[in-house]
Amino acid sequence: MEITNICPYCGGEMREGALPAYKYALTWCPRNEQGGIVEGEPVRLSGMPVIESVYAPARYCESCRVVIVPVPEIESFADKAGKWLDKTLGSLGDRIDRAAERREEEKAAREREEKRNKDPWEV
> Domain of 55?
15-68
CA distance 53 to 45: 11
Judge whether 4 and 45 are in contact, CB under 8 Å.
Answer: no
Identify whether residues 54 and 81 lie together within a single domain: no
How remote is the C-alpha of 41 from its chain's centroid?
21
Q: What is the pTM for the complete model shown?
A: 0.52
Identify whether residues 64 and 86 lie together within a single domain: no
Judge whether 16 and 69 are in contact, CB under 8 Å.
Answer: no
Q: What is the pLDDT of residues 85-103, one digit of tens each?
A: 888 777 777 888 888 999 9
Domain total of the chain: 2
CA distances (Å), origin 116, targets 30, 72, 109, 111: 79, 67, 10, 9
Q: What is the pLDDT of residues 26-41, one digit of tens each?
A: 888 888 888 888 887 7
State which amino acid sits at residue 106. E
